[in-house]
Structure 1
Amino acid sequence: MKTMNKALSLFLAVSSCYLIAAEPAKPKGHQPTPESKASFIRDYDLNKDGTVTAEEFAQVRQQRFSSGDENQDGVLQLDEYVNEYANRLDKRLHAEREGQIKQTHTRIGALDKDKSGSISLAEYQDSGERAFNFIDTNKDGVISKADPAPKRPAGEKPEPVRARPALVMPTTHSVAGMLAMYDKDGDGKVTKEDYLAERTAAFKRTDLDGNGDLSADEYLNEFVDRLDRQIAKTRQSQLKQAEVRFAALDKDKNQQISAAEYQASGDRMFARWDTNADKAVSMKEALPAIEPSQRAD
């Protein structure tokens, strides 16, 4: 019996090795994307020519280290590292907030079809129905992950690759956005009936004077309230991530980042994006292979 148990154990051990070897390797770290490369170029392209040279990259990195080193002792403490990042993040969030508000003014004008100076419930729901029908690509009256992405009209040029924004607001331009905004019970789907009912309720909440129309101020104030809540949430999340990055850069775990540690992290990041090793990074280069992220910020 002992011999049989030993043989069975050996068989199971060998079999498990074959099973492990047969499984495809799972990607580790953050998958490089054109959007993440565009973000890298946006952050380090000093002369805005679409290419980040090794010299530009080194100059920006030095500026960030010097700016963060508030007491000029040659190292970054946690609060110095986070504060330097927070200053850059706040500037970006402010600029994107202004852009979102500008787009909202344009949206108000587009919704006000009869140019009455306000948005009626009919105008509001008409816009909502168009958005629903566009995303409901299988035309079953339900938005879910079963809906294929809408096809681009024939002959229309693809959107240019853009850097990732710091601020992301859920929108009705995708299945994910629709679910984030309207899937209240979390079942992964939104029926048209539930969608229009939720929009009616939102219209009434926004119509503060109860006159049955949304003024430009009412529409804008409701959006700005959601916008500022999203900014606060984004800021909190991003600063927590900065603390995680600090721990990763602090290789000797002495609770501070030396100039050498900071530079080594930057060297790894630049080399990762510079896939043709020509000391410059542009959108024309191939993306890096999928590997553990060496992001530095």
Structure 2
Amino acid sequence: MNSRFFEAMRGYFPDWYLPDIYWTDIVEIVIVAFLIYQIMVWIKNTKAWMLLKGILVLAVFILVAAILKMNTILWIARNSVSILATAAIVVFQPELRRALEKLGEKRFLTAIVPLDKGKESERFSSRTIDAIVEACFAMGKVKTGALIVVEQAIRLTEYESTGIYMDCIVSSQVLINIFEHNTPLHDGAIIVRENRIVSATCYLPLSDNMEISKELGTRHRAALGMSEVSDALIIAVSEETGYVSVAQGGQLVRNVTPEYLKESLIKIQTKNTEKKIAKLWKGRRKHEKETD
């Protein structure tokens, strides 16, 4: 059918060049276009965007040199390609690492064939959820800053090691006491794994997103940065406004209600080991819009 269609078109337009196109070519074009779009979106939201614009300016300068036949500049450009490639890898190293981490989060195999079927279905109990919600809004009322990282499938051992090791059950009293002003553990973030606080005063990566509001401080930028490199849910309590914010999947939702926070924790409470194939066809879960 494909060949007949193009033969008919060539009959109507004999001067036109019409290559044979198969369904695999269309799929390939769609995949390449999607990858290019994702790369451009990723670059735009990082400091690599400014570096890319600098590279484009340099490329235009070399093009002008080629048109005007400036042989010396062209010779320098040809012999600098390998050096520039190495320099680009060094300069873009944080962004490349973050992109590979995001790619590693796409667990295509386990989405189709659940490998953790024999494990417990819940990451943490309802008591832990109630304790986190109660503590966050109690601290918000008195404007005590807090940063809580709730771990999911990706282990946060790298960031856990930057803090002080702990091993205690999550409770609202413990959380409030940790983030109390002028206490040894109040600075930095805590990491919650299952029903326990495993580490405090942890350092988190700051987001490079250029679109972050200037009103947000280091705490919220760290929450957003952590959500960009892991699948964790991060809760930030503002020291200035007392607002509670939630970051997940590179999206930050500010000034949430207790009901919203509890619902967000319930969504990640159960491990998704059932109906994986059905969820895979439904596509990605939609990002929540920012609510102020």
Q: Does TM-score exceed 0.5, indicating one fold?
A: no
Q: TM-score interval w.r.t. the shorter chain? A: under 0.3
More strand by share: 2
Q: Give the TM-score taking structure 1 as reference length.
A: 0.27
Normalised by the length of structure 2, the TM-score is 0.27
